[in-house]
Structure 1
């Protein structure tokens, strides 16, 4: 059965004034499957190409907090205690900080459980080899 889902790409913007960013994760909400999930993968070498002085450890801590909030973990703070849809809207609200999200996109899927992995592969992780040799 096809289910509607929403997603946003998590971006790290090391120097906000330059508006350069790398994709570092995804947030996925599928109300029909009662799913709210996030996955992150920060690539330090790509980030340092934009800003050699970026604080990787601090950024990783904040990215990990997004995952905890999506899971509703008690150590995710008061936002993690909100209903799933409210957490999604809070996480995808526009910000001008070092961690931002893309506009929210909508799609349909037969496999809501595999969405995070597929979107990470498509939007965040480096592409695999092209063609076969």
Structure 2
């Protein structure tokens, strides 16, 4: 049986003042299926075309933190105290940082992990 989910594309905006971006991941949340996860993929040549001085190591670390936050964060982090829905809303809230979430979209899926993989392949890779 299909259940509703919400997702947002994770975008890298290496020079926020220019507004240029590339898609670097997807975060997907399904309350009904008790699922929250992010999958990321950094295409370094595309990012460097936007900003040849981009700090790739820092961006990779920040992308990893999205995946960790979805899993509940670190033992001492704020995400550990939040429910999945709260973590999702926190992650997709508008911000002016190098990594930003796009608009939230809805869908239906039986297997949210497989749907997340499909969305990453379609929208990021």
TM > 0.5 fold call: yes
Q: TM-score, normalised by structure 1?
A: 0.89
How large is the Cα RMSD of the aligned pairs? 1.2
User: Cα distance, 1:58 vs. partner?
Assistant: 0.4
Runs of 4+ in 1 over 4 A off after TM superposition: none
Q: Whose helix fraction is larger, Structure 1's or Structure 2's?
A: 1
- Corresponding residue of 1:71: 71
Q: Deviations over 1:109-129 (max 9, x none)?
A: 12223121011001100xxxx
Match of 2:50 in 1: 50
Tell me what 2:62 maps to: 62
Matches of 1:88 and 1:19, distance apart in 2: 23
Total equivalences in the alignment: 125
Tell me the distance in 1 between the aligned counterparts of 2:80 and 2:27: 14
What are the Cα deviations for residues 43-74 of structure 1, in whole angstroms up to 9, with x where unaligned? 11110000000000001111100100001142
Query: Per the alignment, in what secondary structure is the counterpart of residue 28 of structure 2?
Result: strand
Task: For structure 2, list consecutive stretches of 5 or more residues without a partner in the other structure.
Answer: none
Who is 1:3 aligned against?
Answer: 3
Contact 2:73–2:79 (Cα < 8 Å) also in 1: no
Gapped runs of 5+ residues in structure 1?
Answer: 126-133
Residue 69 to residue 51, structure 1, CA distance change in 2 (3 Å): same
Q: Aligned partners of 2:33 and 2:71: how far apart in 1?
A: 14
